[in-house]
Amino acid sequence: DAKTTQPNSMESNEEEPVHLPCNHSTISGTDYIHWYRQLPSQGPEYVIHGLTSNVNNRMASLAIAEDRKSSTLILHRATLRDAAVYYCILTKGGSEKLVFGKGTKLTVNP
Amino acid sequence: NAGVTQTPKFRILKIGQSMTLQCAQDMNHNYMYWYRQDPGMGLKLIYYSVGAGITDKGEVPNGYNVSRSTTEDFPLRLELAAPSQTSVYFCASRIRVGSYEQYFGPGTRLTVT
Protein backbone atom coordinates (compact mmCIF):
# COMPACT_ATOMS: atom_id res chain seq x y z
CA ASP A 1 0.00 0.00 0.00
CA ALA A 2 1.21 3.50 -0.81
CA LYS A 3 2.35 5.45 2.25
CA THR A 4 2.16 9.12 3.14
CA THR A 5 4.72 11.33 4.86
CA GLN A 6 3.69 14.39 6.86
CA PRO A 7 5.58 16.72 9.18
CA ASN A 8 5.00 15.90 12.83
CA SER A 9 3.93 19.43 13.71
CA MET A 10 3.29 22.88 12.30
CA GLU A 11 2.42 26.25 13.75
CA SER A 12 0.32 29.02 12.36
CA ASN A 13 -1.09 32.35 13.45
CA GLU A 14 -4.77 33.02 13.64
CA GLU A 15 -6.35 34.42 10.46
CA GLU A 16 -3.35 33.46 8.33
CA PRO A 17 -3.38 30.77 5.65
CA VAL A 18 -1.97 27.37 6.48
CA HIS A 19 -0.44 24.95 4.00
CA LEU A 20 -0.17 21.39 5.28
CA PRO A 21 2.03 19.20 3.05
CA CYS A 22 1.78 15.50 2.36
CA ASN A 23 4.19 13.39 0.32
CA HIS A 24 3.00 10.20 -1.32
CA SER A 25 5.67 9.33 -3.87
CA THR A 26 4.44 5.73 -4.39
CA ILE A 27 0.84 6.71 -5.13
CA SER A 28 -0.86 4.68 -7.85
CA GLY A 29 -3.28 5.87 -10.49
CA THR A 30 -6.38 4.70 -8.63
CA ASP A 31 -5.42 6.05 -5.19
CA TYR A 32 -7.63 8.77 -3.75
CA ILE A 33 -6.15 11.37 -1.40
CA HIS A 34 -8.20 12.03 1.74
CA TRP A 35 -7.71 14.48 4.57
CA TYR A 36 -9.25 14.08 7.99
CA ARG A 37 -8.64 16.05 11.13
CA GLN A 38 -9.03 15.19 14.78
CA LEU A 39 -9.73 17.88 17.32
CA PRO A 40 -8.63 17.19 20.90
CA SER A 41 -10.66 14.45 22.58
CA GLN A 42 -12.91 13.97 19.56
CA GLY A 43 -13.29 11.48 16.73
CA PRO A 44 -11.78 12.29 13.35
CA GLU A 45 -13.68 14.57 11.00
CA TYR A 46 -13.63 14.43 7.21
CA VAL A 47 -12.08 17.50 5.59
CA ILE A 48 -11.70 16.88 1.87
CA HIS A 49 -10.64 14.34 -0.74
CA GLY A 50 -9.49 14.31 -4.36
CA LEU A 51 -8.08 12.17 -7.13
CA THR A 52 -6.28 14.32 -9.71
CA SER A 53 -7.74 17.80 -9.78
CA ASN A 54 -7.62 20.47 -7.10
CA VAL A 55 -10.70 20.51 -4.89
CA ASN A 56 -12.40 23.17 -2.81
CA ASN A 57 -15.08 22.92 -0.17
CA ARG A 58 -16.34 25.05 2.69
CA MET A 59 -13.60 23.84 5.02
CA ALA A 60 -10.46 23.80 2.91
CA SER A 61 -8.78 23.41 -0.47
CA LEU A 62 -6.75 20.46 -1.68
CA ALA A 63 -3.95 21.15 -4.13
CA ILE A 64 -2.61 18.04 -5.87
CA ALA A 65 0.73 18.12 -7.66
CA GLU A 66 0.68 17.37 -11.36
CA ASP A 67 2.60 14.11 -10.84
CA ARG A 68 0.35 13.32 -7.82
CA LYS A 69 3.37 12.54 -5.66
CA SER A 70 2.45 15.24 -3.19
CA SER A 71 -0.53 17.27 -2.09
CA THR A 72 -1.23 20.24 0.14
CA LEU A 73 -4.19 20.94 2.35
CA ILE A 74 -4.88 24.66 2.48
CA LEU A 75 -6.80 26.32 5.29
CA HIS A 76 -7.44 29.81 3.97
CA ARG A 77 -7.77 31.60 7.31
CA ALA A 78 -6.80 29.58 10.34
CA THR A 79 -8.88 29.95 13.48
CA LEU A 80 -8.21 28.64 16.97
CA ARG A 81 -10.80 25.94 16.26
CA ASP A 82 -8.59 24.57 13.47
CA ALA A 83 -5.99 23.39 16.00
CA ALA A 84 -6.03 19.64 15.47
CA VAL A 85 -4.10 16.67 14.13
CA TYR A 86 -4.46 16.51 10.35
CA TYR A 87 -4.20 13.15 8.61
CA CYS A 88 -3.39 12.63 4.93
CA ILE A 89 -4.63 9.20 3.81
CA LEU A 90 -4.56 7.28 0.55
CA THR A 91 -7.23 4.76 -0.40
CA LYS A 92 -7.41 2.51 -3.42
CA GLY A 93 -10.42 3.29 -5.56
CA GLY A 94 -13.49 2.32 -3.57
CA SER A 95 -11.52 0.70 -0.76
CA GLU A 96 -13.25 0.83 2.59
CA LYS A 97 -10.10 1.05 4.60
CA LEU A 98 -8.63 4.28 5.90
CA VAL A 99 -5.09 3.78 7.16
CA PHE A 100 -4.15 6.56 9.55
CA GLY A 101 -0.54 7.59 10.16
CA LYS A 102 0.50 9.92 12.97
CA GLY A 103 -0.57 13.03 11.07
CA THR A 104 0.51 16.65 11.54
CA LYS A 105 -0.34 18.42 14.75
CA LEU A 106 -1.35 21.98 13.88
CA THR A 107 -1.02 24.64 16.55
CA VAL A 108 -2.78 27.94 15.91
CA ASN A 109 -1.46 30.92 17.84
CA PRO A 110 -3.80 33.81 18.73
CA ASN B 1 -30.02 13.08 13.23
CA ALA B 2 -27.91 12.01 16.19
CA GLY B 3 -25.25 10.74 13.76
CA VAL B 4 -22.95 8.04 15.17
CA THR B 5 -23.42 7.34 18.87
CA GLN B 6 -21.23 5.21 21.10
CA THR B 7 -21.73 3.84 24.59
CA PRO B 8 -20.24 3.82 27.12
CA LYS B 9 -17.98 6.90 27.06
CA PHE B 10 -15.56 5.43 29.58
CA ARG B 11 -15.00 1.97 31.03
CA ILE B 12 -12.47 0.27 33.25
CA LEU B 13 -12.16 -3.49 32.90
CA LYS B 14 -10.17 -6.02 34.85
CA ILE B 15 -7.92 -8.41 32.95
CA GLY B 16 -9.96 -11.35 31.67
CA GLN B 17 -13.33 -9.60 31.78
CA SER B 18 -15.48 -9.20 28.69
CA MET B 19 -17.61 -6.35 27.43
CA THR B 20 -19.46 -5.03 24.41
CA LEU B 21 -18.94 -1.55 23.02
CA GLN B 22 -22.09 -0.27 21.42
CA CYS B 23 -22.27 1.75 18.20
CA ALA B 24 -25.37 2.99 16.44
CA GLN B 25 -26.02 5.31 13.51
CA ASP B 26 -29.29 6.82 12.33
CA MET B 27 -28.17 7.94 8.87
CA ASN B 28 -29.07 4.67 7.10
CA HIS B 29 -25.42 4.16 6.21
CA ASN B 30 -24.43 0.82 4.76
CA TYR B 31 -20.81 0.77 5.86
CA MET B 32 -19.68 0.76 9.47
CA TYR B 33 -16.21 0.56 11.02
CA TRP B 34 -14.44 0.06 14.30
CA TYR B 35 -11.05 1.69 14.95
CA ARG B 36 -8.78 1.87 17.96
CA GLN B 37 -6.38 4.69 18.78
CA ASP B 38 -3.47 4.20 21.13
CA PRO B 39 -1.89 7.27 22.78
CA GLY B 40 -0.04 9.50 20.31
CA MET B 41 -0.84 7.23 17.38
CA GLY B 42 -3.19 7.24 14.42
CA LEU B 43 -6.29 5.07 14.24
CA LYS B 44 -6.12 1.41 13.30
CA LEU B 45 -9.01 -0.47 11.71
CA ILE B 46 -10.28 -3.43 13.76
CA TYR B 47 -13.33 -4.63 11.80
CA TYR B 48 -15.70 -3.25 9.25
CA SER B 49 -19.06 -4.12 7.72
CA VAL B 50 -20.49 -3.31 4.30
CA GLY B 51 -24.04 -4.18 5.28
CA ALA B 52 -26.21 -6.18 7.64
CA GLY B 53 -24.87 -9.73 7.99
CA ILE B 54 -21.50 -8.93 6.39
CA THR B 55 -18.34 -8.24 8.36
CA ASP B 56 -14.62 -8.36 7.58
CA LYS B 57 -11.33 -8.01 9.43
CA GLY B 58 -9.20 -4.92 9.43
CA GLU B 59 -5.56 -4.45 10.50
CA VAL B 60 -5.88 -5.49 14.16
CA PRO B 61 -8.83 -7.90 14.67
CA ASN B 62 -7.29 -10.24 17.24
CA GLY B 63 -9.10 -10.24 20.56
CA TYR B 64 -12.29 -8.72 19.13
CA ASN B 65 -15.53 -9.90 17.57
CA VAL B 66 -18.30 -8.06 15.76
CA SER B 67 -21.76 -8.73 14.42
CA ARG B 68 -24.08 -6.70 12.23
CA SER B 69 -27.67 -7.87 12.50
CA THR B 70 -29.21 -4.50 11.59
CA THR B 71 -28.17 -1.55 9.44
CA GLU B 72 -28.16 0.74 12.49
CA ASP B 73 -26.06 -1.20 15.01
CA PHE B 74 -22.50 -2.52 14.96
CA PRO B 75 -21.40 -3.75 18.41
CA LEU B 76 -17.77 -4.64 19.16
CA ARG B 77 -17.16 -7.48 21.60
CA LEU B 78 -14.00 -7.82 23.68
CA GLU B 79 -13.44 -11.27 25.11
CA LEU B 80 -10.85 -11.85 27.82
CA ALA B 81 -9.67 -8.25 28.05
CA ALA B 82 -5.91 -7.66 28.13
CA PRO B 83 -3.90 -4.52 29.06
CA SER B 84 -2.90 -4.24 25.37
CA GLN B 85 -6.53 -3.42 24.61
CA THR B 86 -6.37 -0.22 26.62
CA SER B 87 -7.20 2.34 23.98
CA VAL B 88 -9.81 4.75 22.66
CA TYR B 89 -12.29 3.04 20.36
CA PHE B 90 -14.03 4.90 17.55
CA CYS B 91 -16.95 3.75 15.48
CA ALA B 92 -17.60 5.25 12.06
CA SER B 93 -20.10 4.92 9.23
CA ARG B 94 -20.33 5.78 5.55
CA ILE B 95 -23.04 5.72 2.95
CA ARG B 96 -22.47 3.22 0.16
CA VAL B 97 -22.55 5.44 -2.89
CA GLY B 98 -22.02 9.10 -3.60
CA SER B 99 -19.55 9.91 -0.84
CA TYR B 100 -16.23 8.74 0.58
CA GLU B 101 -16.80 10.59 3.84
CA GLN B 102 -16.68 8.55 7.03
CA TYR B 103 -18.59 9.92 10.01
CA PHE B 104 -17.03 9.16 13.39
CA GLY B 105 -18.56 8.77 16.81
CA PRO B 106 -17.19 10.46 19.95
CA GLY B 107 -15.26 7.39 21.09
CA THR B 108 -15.12 5.05 24.07
CA ARG B 109 -12.10 5.26 26.36
CA LEU B 110 -11.29 1.79 27.68
CA THR B 111 -8.75 0.97 30.36
CA VAL B 112 -7.84 -2.64 31.17
CA THR B 113 -6.00 -3.14 34.46
Q: What is the pLDDT of residues B9-34, one digit of tens each?
A: 999 999 999 999 999 999 999 999 99
Whole-number pLDDT of residue A91 = 87
Candidates A46, A88, A98: best to mutate against B (most CBs of B within 10 A) is A98
Alpha-carbon gap, residue B55 to B67, rounded angstroms: 7
Over the stretch A56-87, which tens digit does the pLDDT of each residue have?
A: 999 999 999 999 999 999 999 999 999 999 99
In the predicted structure, residue B65 carries a pLDDT above the cut 80:
yes
Residues of A in contact with B59 (CB under 8 A): 97, 99
Q: What is the pLDDT of chain B when averaged over all its residues?
A: 94
Predicted confidence band of residue B98 (pLDDT cuts 50, 70, 90): low
**Buried b / exposed e across B20-42, counting CB within 10 Å, b at 16+?**
ebbbbbeeebebbbbbbbeeeeb
**CB within 8 Å of B22: residues ≥ 6 apart:** B6, B7, B8, B73, B75
Residue of B nearest to A104 (CA): B42
**Closest residue to B31, CB basis, from A32, A45, A96:** A96
Element (H, E) at A23: strand A18-23
Partner B contacted by A8 (CB < 8 A): no
Alpha-carbon gap, residue B82 to A109, rounded angstroms: 40
- Cβ of A45 within 8 Å of Cβ of B107? The answer is no
In the predicted structure, residue A94 carries a pLDDT above the cut 70:
no
In the predicted structure, residue B96 carries a pLDDT above the cut 80:
no
Looking at chain A, the whole-number percentage of residues with pLDDT higher than 70 is 95
Predicted confidence band of residue A30 (pLDDT cuts 50, 70, 90): confident
